[in-house]
C-alpha cells in the first residue's frame, strides 16, 4: 500500500510516495509512525489532513490493503 505526500510533507520525506509499513493499521498509527520516522516534522504531522480514498479520515479510521492514502499539509494562498 502506498502513501502519497503533497507539498511540505513530500519535502520532509524526500518523496511523493512511500510504502505503508504493514504494522500501521489505523490513521492514528500512521501519524505515530511518521512522528517516529520523521521527528523533525512532528509539528507538521499534527496539522496534516489524511485522506483515505479521497475522503478525510479520523485517527481511528482503519487502513485496508488497497486504500488510497494521501497526506495533505496545510496550505495558504491569496
pLDDT tens by residue, 46-66 = 999 999 999 999 999 999 988
Angle at Cα 30 formed by Cα 26 and Cα 35, nearest 5°?
Answer: 145
Higher pLDDT, 1 or 48: 48
What is the value of pTM for the model shown? Answer: 0.90
Q: What burial letters (b/e) apply to 13-23, b meaning 16+ CB within 10 Å? A: beeeebebeee
C-alpha cell at 69: 492514502
Amino acid at each position: 500500500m502506498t502513501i502519497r505526500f503533497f507539498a511540505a510533507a513530500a519535502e520532509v520525506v524526500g518523496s511523493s510516495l512511500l510504502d505503508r509499513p504493514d504494522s500501521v493499521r489505523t490513521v492514528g498509527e500512521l501519524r505515530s509512525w511518521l512522528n517516529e520516522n520523521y521527528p523533525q516534522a512532528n509539528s507538521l504531522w499534527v496539522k496534516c489532513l489524511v485522506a483515505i480514498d479521497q475522503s478525510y479520515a479520523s485517527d481511528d479510521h482503519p487502513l485496508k490493503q488497497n486504500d488510497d492514502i494521501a497526506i495533505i499539509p496545510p496550505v495558504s494562498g491569496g
